[in-house]
Amino acid sequence: MTAEKHHVPWYLWPFWAIWRLVVIIIEFTGRLLGAILGLALLIVGIVLSLTVVGACAGIPLGLLGILLMVRSIF
């Protein structure tokens, strides 16, 4: 990502600050939701992998859960 600096006029600064706060809250919520969903998929994948028949679906679900959790961190 390239960070471009934009000059914000002083009279628009309150609106810009509120907008940045909303963006930060939405990004954090998205990351938290992704981590929770990844953990749930990982647990379901592990439980399905305990049965021989469910291993066909459990292993990909577990891998998808791991990938979601890693994506939420970075």
Write the pLDDT tens digit of every residue in 31-68. Answer: 999 999 999 999 999 999 998 888 899 999 999 999 99
Give me the residue spans of the domains in the chain: 30-74
pLDDT of residue 6: 74
Return the residue matching tokens 């706060």.
21
pLDDT of residue 1: 53
- Determine contact, residues 61/48, Cβ cutoff 8 Å: yes
- Determine contact, residues 42/69, Cβ cutoff 8 Å: yes
pLDDT of residue 53: 86
pLDDT at 18 over 60: yes
